[in-house]
Amino acid sequence: PSDSLADPLTQVIEKGEMSILVDYDVDLPAYYGQAVTVTARVVANGSNNPRPNGTLAFSLNGIAQGDPVELDALAQADSPALTDLGVGSHALRLVYSGDDYYQAYTLDLPAAITVARALTLVQITDIWPETVVVGEPVAVDFTVAVDTPEGGSPTGTVTVSNGTDQCTGALGGKEKKMLLGAEANGYCELTLTATDRGPLTATYSGDEQYAPSTSNEAAGPVVEKAELTLTIDPDSLPPDSVVVGQPFSVTVHLAPVDPGTLVPVGAIVTISNGGDSCQATVQAD
């Protein structure tokens, strides 16, 4: 008979290693205003290993997100909903506590969650008045909706244009919950300089959190020709008589009739006494 008590063999059993697999409940990049939940699973390296137990702690940009979460029957844990995510990249840290079989482990993901500017929908909602004369201002109302369920309050400006004439107005910050999210409203005054202007489009400038967008075409107002008054300045005429063939100057004034506001700069005016005539180009003043 014999035994090994005199010279035993000691076997050292160390804790096993594992990996952490990460998934998200939204497609990345997320959009500004969206909440993101992280699902992490602790996976033992190798085969035929016991299921990991213990907890997972989540940190975002160095700030702990709630208390550590117990792993479930699939060795998974969900983070709290991560909200108020700014546009850009966010660092994620996951800390596994370890258990009787596995070592503690820390996973750092410097740019785990990326956030893009939220999509927007700009629309022209009203035009008033619907019929104007050339030079008469038109009030164009617009709205910018946020195309996410969370909504939001965009800032910035909207430019309304027909390709030639344009106006720009700031968003007023008014909010109301709609199907697409919140809306921010505003308006600008557009002065049309001809009768043959085309449809209108609105372009939102975007800001740090909300992406630019351009509306579909909207019909502009009916634009009619404006009236002008045309008068001869008597003070421009020579005070004394002239002889045949002697030239003299005549000043003519043009003024728009309300609601028109424009003078046709560059147009030609003919001045005549029925027999003799001259022509002049309309100046801005």
Token pair belonging to 160:
């309304």
Report pLDDT digits (tens) over 77-127.
999 999 989 999 999 999 999 999 999 999 999 999 999 999 999 999 989
pLDDT score at 178: 39
Report pLDDT digits (tens) over 200-247.
999 999 999 999 999 999 999 999 998 999 999 988 888 778 888 888
Cα 24 vs. chain centroid, distance in angstroms?
Answer: 25
pLDDT score at 179: 36
Q: Quote the CA–CA distance of 54 and 56 in Å, as a whole number.
A: 7
User: Which three-class secondary structure string do you get for the chain?
Assistant: CCCCCCCCCCCCCCCECEEEEEEECCCCCEECCCCECEEEEEEECCCCCCCCCCEEEEEECCEECCCCEECCCCCEEECCCECCCCCEEEEEEEEECCCCCECCEEEEEEEEEEEECECEEEEEEEEECCEEECCCEEEEEEEEEECCCCCCCCCCEEEEECCCCEEEEECCCCCCEECCEEEEEEEEEEECCCCCCCCEEEEECCCCCECCEECCCECCCEEECCCEEEEECHHHCCCCCCCCCCCCCCCEEEEECCCCCCCCCCCEEEEECCCCEEEEECCCC
Residue 182: pLDDT band by 50, 70, 90 thresholds? low
Closest CA to 230 of 195, 284, 273, 282: 282
- At residue 52, φ and ψ (nearest 5 deg) are -65, 145
pLDDT score at 149: 65
Residue 183: pLDDT band by 50, 70, 90 thresholds? low
Q: Report percent pLDDT > 90 for the chain.
A: 64
Q: Quote the CA–CA distance of 104 and 145 in Å, as a whole number.
A: 47
